[in-house]
Amino acid sequence: MRAIHAAAAGEAIFGPGVAHRIIEHFTHTTELPTSPVPTLTARERDVLDLIATGRGNAAIAHDLMISLKTVSNHVSNVLTELQVPDRSAAIVKARNAGLGQ
């Protein structure tokens, strides 16, 4: 009867096992991603970090020892992932995330 009245009142009644699991779930802290931009690959983060320091594509290609076309592809992916229209907006987001400093 208690469970029926509780359900009618919008409450929930859990058995001890379920209650324990719920408490465990909410009391354990979840780890935050170690990357400020977790959706990017490691190489894309490298490119973003160099963009945030003001480096151009040719300089980034030289620094990372990759082709200019590869840098262009990474820059395009970074802009898409960050949902920004251009390098300037990407720089702002990167610096806000602690990159390029």
Inside any domain, residue 18 = yes
Give the integer Cα–Cα distance in Å for 40 and 7.
45
**The pLDDT value given to residue 34:** 56
Inside any domain, residue 66 = yes
- Locate 25 and state its tokens: 């779930």
Inside any domain, residue 36 = no
Instruction: Quick: pLDDT tens for 67-93.
Output: 999 999 999 999 999 999 999 999 888
pLDDT band at residue 6 using 50, 70 and 90 as cut-offs:
confident
**The pLDDT value given to residue 36:** 62
Record the pTM. 0.62
Instruction: Quick: pLDDT tens for 14-70.
Output: 788 887 887 887 777 655 555 667 788 999 999 998 998 889 999 999 999 999 999
Co-location of 48 and 25 in the same domain = no
Q: Is the pLDDT of residue 9 over 90?
A: no
Residue range(s) defining the domain that contains residue 23: 1-30
Co-location of 54 and 16 in the same domain = no
Bin 29: left if φ > 0, else alpha if -120 < ψ < 50, else beta: beta
Co-location of 47 and 91 in the same domain = yes
Co-location of 51 and 79 in the same domain = yes
Q: Is the pLDDT of residue 5 over 90?
A: no
**The pLDDT value given to residue 14:** 78
Co-location of 16 and 51 in the same domain = no
Inside any domain, residue 35 = no
CATH number for the domain that contains residue 60: 1.10.10.10
Alpha helix (H) residue ranges in 1-101: 2-8, 16-27, 42-52, 57-64, 68-82, 87-96
Our count of domains for the chain comes to: 2
